[in-house]
Every structure is written in C-alpha cells, then in structure tokens.
Amino acid sequence: MERSYLTFTKERNLYTLCRDLIEVHIRLIMRTPFIYLLFSFLSIASTHAQGMKKMAQKTEFESRLAKEAQTVESIESDFTQVKYLDVFDEKVTSKGKFYYQKTHKICMEYFRPMDYLIVINGSKLKIVSDGKKSIMNLSSNKMMAQMQDMLTACMIGDLSKMSSNYLLEYFEDARYYLVKIKPTNKAVQAYIAGIEIYLDKKDMSVHKLRLSETATNYTEYEFYNKKFNSLKNETKFAIR
C-alpha cells in the first residue's frame, strides 16, 4: 500500500527536526525556502579534495580512528557554520559552541547571528528558539533514528556506526584524511546526496564536515579550539 501524503509529510517534518540537530536557525528557515543539507563534490571542498590522493591502505586509518574514538569521553569546541543556497547565491555564516559527551549527547549553542540551541540526549531532541522550546522523541520513527545515528557519527568522527547502507571512500593529503560518504539506501538518498568528513591527522578529530542535499546547496561546519575529555557537567544536555 502506498503511503498517504499525510504520512509522507509527517516523516518529512520529523526529518527536518532531526536534521536541525546540526542545522540552521528556525528563523532563517521561516524567512527563506531552505533546501537543507549538503554539499556535493562540485564546490570548494571538491577543489580541496582534488589535491588529495586515494588512500592506498585504510586498515591503519580505521584502526587508529577506532582507537582514538574509544578514548574520547567528551569534546568541547567552537564552530563556524556556513550555509550556501544557490537560489540566493549567498552564504549565511553562523558561530557557536559544540559539546559532545558519551553516549549520544550533543549540544550546539549558536551565538551569532542569533541565539539558538539544539540538544540531543539519547533518543530525545530539544530545540530552543526565541525562548520557545520544543521536544520530540526520535525513536518513534525508524528513519529518524537511523538519521540521528548517522549525523551523530559524522559530528564526532566515529565511523563505526556506519552500516552497509553507506558507501565510504577514503582520501588523504599531508594534513587531513577525507572520508566521502554516500547513502545507498533509497530512502536516505531522498534526503542526503553525500557527506564529506575531514579528519585532522594530528588527533583524528573532525576538522570540517560538509553535508549536501543537492549539487550546489551545502552546509559546512568547521571546528576549532577543541578540548577533549574536560567536560564534566551534564547540564548542557538536559532535556526537560
């Protein structure tokens, strides 16, 4: 039986909320007809990627990445988010603080150009904008739970969560590893064209993350001033 339009719309709305975990401000969404996520391999990152070579031996990379991921209990960093929309031919830049704590706890506090808060704790998602709070349960939708795992894995660089529903390619240069991720599941392909994760060779942490939905529209996150295993307080991840 074909899904009803109402069911499809409900799933799309759930996806939008889950994607807001790492995405733009609700005000901007209201002002402009945003087409979310990512970046394909035709933009600036692709220019960077062209200078990279395909990784000949990924066993050492996977072993080191898994080892580093096991040692990380928490991450704190500043981030800059750049969103490009070809319909407006302009970039929207936002800044904030990123917090991660094992397991499945993420907080993103946006300070510029406006205050905005996204918190994920387990299967629950909280968004606060203009003093208004909304909370939802992601586990009630299998698709949303899968998207949550994938996006969380990308934010912290833990690729062990990637299932057979994703095709991974590996590249490197002198400073960074680059992992290109493409969904093979048609349901996921309806929302995401591809993901690019740049990992710093010094500590295997995520330096840059690019998400794309179309060949020209993308969202890029760059993380800096990173601190590891220093976050003790869990109040940042409270959902109530």
Q: Mind listing the pLDDT tens digit for each residue in 205-236?
A: 999 999 887 778 889 999 999 999 999 889 99
Structure tokens at 148: 């949550």
194 versus 16: the higher-pLDDT residue is 194
Q: Is the pLDDT of residue 47 over 60?
A: no
The 10s digit of each residue's pLDDT in 95-148 is 999 999 988 899 999 999 999 999 999 989 999 998 899 999 988 877 777 777
Furthest-apart CA pair in the chain: how many Å? 52
100: part of which helix (H) or strand (E)? strand 90-101
In whole angstroms, give the CA distance from residue 34 to residue 208.
22
Q: Does domain 5-237 bear CATH number 2.50.20.10?
A: yes
Q: Pick the most confident of 18-32, 44-58, 75-89, 184-198.
A: 75-89
Q: What phi and psi, each to the nearest 5 degrees, are found at residue 194?
A: 180, 165
Q: Once rounded to an integer, what is the mean pLDDT over residues 73-82? A: 96
* Residue 181's pLDDT band (cuts 50, 70, 90): very high
CA distances 196 to 3, 115, 178, Å, are: 32, 27, 7
| Total length of the chain | 240
| Lowest-confidence region among 7-16, 32-41, 154-163, 224-233 | 32-41
Q: Is the dihedral angle over the CA atoms 163, 227, 205, 183 positive or is it negative?
A: positive
In whole angstroms, give the CA distance from residue 18 to residue 24.
12
**Mean of per-residue pLDDT scores for the chain:** 79
* Residue 184's pLDDT band (cuts 50, 70, 90): confident
* Residue 49's pLDDT band (cuts 50, 70, 90): low
Q: What is the pTM of this model?
A: 0.77
Residue whose C-alpha is closest to residue 147's, from 117, 183, 119, 116:
183
Sheet containing 194-200: which strands, arranged edge to edge? Answer: 53-54, 166-172, 176-183, 194-200, 206-212, 218-228, 74-85, 90-101, 105-112, 116-121, 124-129, 132-137
Residue 122, class by beta-carbon neighbours within 10 Å (0-12 exposed, 13-18 middle, 19+ buried)? middle
In whole angstroms, give the CA distance from residue 35 to residue 29.
9
148 versus 56: the higher-pLDDT residue is 56
